[in-house]
Amino acid sequence: MTTDEQTSGAGENVSLALLGRDRAPFIPMAFRDDGQMIDRAADPKRWRDIVNADTVIVTQWDGGADIPPDDDGVATCSCSMPTTVRQMLDALDVRPGQRVLEIGTGTGYTSALLRDRVGPTGHVVSVEVDKALADGARENLAAVGVDVQVVTGDGLDGCEDGGPYDRVFVTCGIRTVPTAWLAQTVTGGRIVMPWGTRFTPWHDVLLPLVKADDGSASGQFGEGLSYMKARSQRNTWPVFPEGWLTAGARAELDVPASTLDIGTTGFRPLVVGFALPDVVTTVLDDEDGEKTRYLYRAGAAGESCAAVTYKDKAPTRTCAYGPDDLASEFVAAVEWFRDHGRPEAEGFGLTVTPDGQRVWFGSPTGPTQPRA
């Protein structure tokens, strides 16, 4: 235990115990926790207690250095829970002497952990899109004597040196896996990331991909995670076309509300969302218990949107507008989910090729949801 920990009276340091390195040098002197400002100078014990705990610490808000005084700010960088970082590092299976590319430097803490694991003969390059974060990470790493090459740039393009890398470690949520990562990873190499869909923007899964001889990469989904999305892949709620509810095709379906009410959190909407590429959604309910799920997709052929309205002991009503019948797609996905025993995310996986990505069920040669 360090002098700082002893004088603070803090309990077990989870980051040190689980990951072998204290995250304190990478945490700002002041941050906000549950709406309260935690200042190391004013309350060193409280500051250290939180840093030692197995919790997320937001280290940047709104893409800038200022800490908002309330909960209105958007978190744009954090130091993740040590248990989550451990899960991802275990999936990465990094070895001494390897070359590792990190996407999203953040505070520099995971960069240091990667450097610890590759040892003196290995090499770590970390790419950070935010210049202020990249500069701060370089300072943090230098202060603790860790040699990591931090590059300011868009990590979705890979790294300018072209690799190749034995491992790619991604610290932001991804919806579409960049083909640049495939090109810069050696055959047999691993790419580990939080992956999810636009359908459930705050619920991702751990995805370890292994690159095959043919240049593709596949992997089965692991445990649920919640990571800030890559900045260019964040959700933005769309403006629906004017008059779409009047112009849309209407129908009544013999599908009960109990089937369609999959909620907005947990594994059910996550799995259903696998079948609805690029669809964003929200659910509104009224005082009488009637719920309406709104869906939207901006595709190459134009905008598609739908409303699916359901209530116990009442017919389900749908309205679909645009080139894609999103109401039917949603109902088909939910029925597939029900008919296949309501499988959890671990039953699915992803294959990425230079031409795109595909979610599969059971194995890489298995069907694409919701095909029965």
The residue annotated as part of the active site, out of 8, 15, 80, 126, is 80
DSSP 302-357: EEEEEEEEE-TTS-EEEEEESSS-HHHHHHHHHHHHHHTT---GGGEEEEEETTEE
Give rounded-to-5 percent helix, strand, coil for the chain.
25, 30, 40
CA 302 to the chain's CA centroid: 27
Copy the structure tokens of residue 225: 């995670």
Alpha helices in 213-325, H assignment, sequence order: 244-247, 257-260, 267-273
Sheet holding 316-321, edge to edge: 249-253, 316-321, 302-310, 291-299, 280-285
In the three-class reduction of DSSP (H, G, I as helix; E, B as strand; rest coil), residue 255 is classed as coil
DSSP-derived 3-state class of residue 245? helix
The one-character DSSP state at 260 is: H
H helices of 21-156, in order, are: 44-52, 82-92, 109-118, 131-143
For 363, the 3-state DSSP assignment is coil
Q: Environment class of residue 310 by beta-carbon count within 10 Å: exposed (0-12), middle (13-18) or buried (19+)? A: buried
- How far is CA 192 from its chain centroid? 11
Give, rounded to a whole angstrom, the gap between the first and last alpha carbons of the chain.
56
Residue 80 appears among annotated catalytic residues: yes
Between CA 212 and CA 188 the distance in angstroms is 6
- Residue count (the chain): 372
Please give the positions annotated as active site: 80
